[in-house]
Amino acid sequence: MIGAMAPVQPLASADRILEYLRAQPSDEVNPEEQAEQVNAALAAIPHDTPLLTALGQVGRTLMLSDAATEPQWRHVRERPGDQRAALSLLETLMHDNDTAGVRDLVRTLAAGVPHGDDYRAAPGVGAAVASARPAG
C-alpha cells in the first residue's frame, strides 16, 4: 500500500526548503508536511546539517524521534566532527530519554574524527554529551 502513495512534491528546491518552511505563517504550519518536505530534501542532500537538525525538531514535534534519529546517526557516524549535527542528535536522544543512545553517542564522539576527514574534532561536543549522561 505504501508503494501506491504519490511521491512528495517539493515546495522548494532541497537547498531552499528550510527557508521556504520558515517563511510560512504560523497558522499555516503543518508538521507532517514539514517532515515530508525535509525528508524529500534529505534524499537530495543527505548530509545537510541544517536539514538533519530540522528533521530532529519535527520528529520530536510529531513524537516520531525514532524516524529522525536514523539519518542523524548515519551522518554523525560518518562525520563525527560535525558539532551541530552531534548536538542535534543529542537533543533528540535526550528528548526520548534514550540513555543507551547518549552513551553510544559519547563513544562515537570519543573515537574521534577518522583520519583525513575534513571536519575538525569536536572536543566540546564530547564534553557536553558526557556531562549530560545520567549517573550510574
Domain boundaries, the chain: 12-132
Q: pTM of the prediction?
A: 0.69
The 8-class DSSP code of residue 135 comes to P
CA distance 106 to 96: 16
Helices marked H in 12-120 — which ranges? 17-22, 31-44, 49-61, 65-78, 83-95, 99-110
pLDDT digits (tens, 9 = 90+) for 67-126: 889 999 999 999 988 999 999 999 999 999 999 999 999 999 988 755 444 433 344 444
Does the 12-132 domain belong in CATH 1.20.120.420? no
State residue 7's pLDDT score. 77
Q: Give the mean pLDDT of the chain.
A: 81
CA distance 68 to 134: 23
State residue 133's pLDDT score. 42
- The answer to whether the CB of 53 falls within 8 A of the CB of 88 is yes
Cell numbers found for residue 115: 583520519
State residue 119's pLDDT score. 38
Higher-scoring residue by pLDDT: 106, 6: 106
